[in-house]
Amino acid sequence: MIFDGHNDLLTRLWLSSAKDPVHEFLHGTLPGHLDFKRCRQAQWTGGLFSIFLPPYRYLQQHHPEKIKDPTATDFSSEQIIEICTAQLEIAQQLQLRSEGKIQICTSLSQIKSCFQHQQLAIVLHLEGAEVLACDPMLLDDFHKKGLRSIGPLWNRKSLFGDGLNATFPHSPDTGSGLTQQGKELVRTCARKGMIIDVSHMNERAFWDTAEILEGFHQPIVATHSNVHALCAQARNLTDSQLKAVKQSHGMVGINFDVAFLRSDGQRDPNTSIDTIIDHLSYLLEHIGEDHVGFGSDFDGCLLPLDLADVTYMPQLLQRMQQRGYSEALIEKMRFGNWLTLLEKIIH
Ligand SMILES: [Zn+2]
């Protein structure tokens, strides 16, 4: 079993040109890193599934069919709501049409039951909260439909804060912290029993969030970020951030994107799987074995060639074993630590 802190499947299915992407996921073979058959084969049994608003320019360039008004230069509020709602509905469709094989989970007991019955466990995550700036009431609506995790900021500026400028080499200190609305959003979501993800926060927003979460005794979670000391990408976590994650009893999910792994920061897939283990080992040494797991970024990243999709997970686990990780330690990283964390937060 593997529980994975981050993937972009829902966004990819929304972007897909297939006639019925949900059917393709369930019964066919999709291009990309994940489909049901391959997840099963790899015993990849669940994780945080992201609802994400892609950058407008990315859609213009790669998916112009998704832009309704070609004369516009940015999304309208209606479009933002439409895009995020559509991805949430894809998750619902996956559950509905899976004949009991996929479950949107809102509690630890549901996730455990999925593991027991070999179902795929989806915990819904919102990456970047722009949609809530368009309509704050949607938070309750999405929460009712299963949303249990939120990254208030993505790389761009929004009502909630500056976002993070993902550059290399650079410190995570790339702008201002959370706005008043951003702080209020973190408090509201913490009260609702949701994970607050700091993965796309610049350093000031990270510390703003850390301070608020301390008041709630809630762990700091970076669902898909790596070690800044090994790869000086602004998206990665400095030693003092890592220390704060540890002190809060939080988690770091290791991101498999080569640009967040490599010491030269290059988007070069010719990157050894061992680089992932180097980051894991650094975390083990610096924050201990209870705070580390996977946050693959499947379907949203450039993977190393020897980890071409989810079916290569057993090779990664085997390599961890060869590098001296015990079975008990590997089990914690596969799912144990994530489950312990989720038990503390989601309800
Ligand atoms: Zn991300």
Q: Does the pLDDT value for residue 30 go beyond 90?
A: no
Contact in structure between 345 and 219 (CB atoms under 8 Å)? yes
- Distances from the Cα of 128 to the Cαs of 55, 118, 291, in angstroms? 11, 31, 24
| Centre of ligand 1 from the C-alpha of residue 187, in Å | 21
Q: How far is the CA of 123 from the centre of ligand 1 (A)?
A: 15
Ligand 1: centre distance to CA 112 (Å): 26
Q: How many CB atoms lie within 10 A of CB 32?
A: 19
223 CA to centre of ligand 1 in angstroms: 8
pLDDT over 90 at 87, yes or no = yes
260 CA distance to ligand 1 centroid (A)? 11
Cα(127) to centroid(ligand 1), Å? 7
CA distance 5 to 68: 32
Distance of CA 273 from the midpoint of ligand 1 (Å): 20
Burial of 153 (0-12, 13-18, 19+ CB in 10 A): buried
Distance 97 CA to ligand 1 centre (A): 27
pLDDT above 90: residue 266:
yes
Predicted local confidence at residue 123, as pLDDT? 98
Is residue 132 within 8 A of residue 153, CB to CB? The reply is no
pLDDT tens digits for 202-233?
999 999 999 999 999 999 999 999 999 999 99
Q: How would DSSP label each residue in 136-201?
A: TTHHHHHHHTTEEEEES--SS-BTTB------SS--S--S--B-HHHHHHHHHHHHTT-EEB-TT-
Give residues with Cβ within 8 angstroms of 228, minimum separation 6. Answer: 171, 172, 236, 237, 238, 239, 241
Distance 128 CA to ligand 1 centre (A): 9
Q: How far is the CA of 222 from the centre of ligand 1 (A)?
A: 10
Is residue 220 within 8 A of residue 205, CB to CB? The reply is no
Q: What is the maximum span of the chain, computed from C-alpha positions, in angstroms?
A: 57
Task: Please give the distance, rounded to the nearest whole angstrom, from the Cα atom of residue 295 to the centre of ligand 1.
Answer: 10
Helices (H), 177-273: 180-191, 203-215, 239-247, 258-261
Give the torsion sign (CA, 289, 147, 123, 30): negative
Cα(56) to centroid of ligand 1, in Å? 16
Smallest Cα–Cα separation from 104: which of 87, 81, 80? 87
Structure letter (DSSP) for residue 18? S
What is the whole-number distance in angstroms between the Cα of residue 6 and the centre of ligand 1?
Answer: 8
Classify burial at 110, counting beta carbons within 10 Å of its beta carbon; exposed 0-12, middle 13-18, buried 19 or more: middle
Which pLDDT value is given to residue 301?
A: 96
The CA 200 to ligand 1 mean position distance, Å, reads 6
pLDDT digits (tens, 9 = 90+) for 96-108: 999 999 999 999 9
Spacing, Cα 288 to ligand 1 middle (Å): 24
Query: Half-sphere exposure of residue 100, counting CA atoms within 13 Å on the CB side?
Result: 4
252 Cα: distance to centroid of ligand 1 (angstroms)? 13
How close is the Cα of 52 to the center of ligand 1, in Å? 9
Q: Give 324 Cα–ligand 1 centroid separation in angstroms.
A: 30
Both tokens of 292, joined, read 């580390």
Whether pLDDT at 31 is above 90: no
**Which pLDDT score is estimated for 69?**
85
User: How much distance in Å is there from the Cα of 226 to the middle of ligand 1?
Assistant: 12
Strand pairing of 120-127 and 147-151? parallel
Confidence of residue 298 (pLDDT cuts 50, 70, 90): very high
Quickly count helices (H) and strands (E) in the chain. Answer: 16, 9
- How many angstroms separate the alpha carbon of residue 217 from the centre of ligand 1? 25
Residue 120 Cα to ligand 1 midpoint, Å, equals: 21
Cβ contacts of 140 within 8 Å, gap of 6 or more: none
Q: Please list the helix, strand and coil fractions of the chain in percent, rounded to the nearest 5, in that order.
A: 45, 15, 40
Instruction: For the chain, list the domains and their CATH numbers.
Output: 3-345 (3.20.20.140)
Q: Is the torsion defined by CA of 196, 224, 314, 42 positive or negative?
A: positive
Q: Which residues of 7-31 are buried (b: 16+ CB within 10 A; e: fewer)?
A: bbbbbbbbbbeeeebbebbbeeebe
Tokens found for residue 149: 């995790």
User: From ligand 1's centre to the CA of 331, what distance in Å?
Assistant: 24
CA of 334 to the centre of ligand 1 (A): 20
Contact by Cβ (8 Å): 53, 10: no
Model confidence over 114-149: pLDDT tens digits? Answer: 999 999 999 999 999 999 999 999 999 999 999 999
pLDDT of residue 62 exceeding 90, the answer is yes
Cα 198 to ligand 1 centre (Å): 10
Q: Measured in Å, how far apart are the chain's first and last C-alpha atoms?
A: 22
CA distance 11 to 84: 9
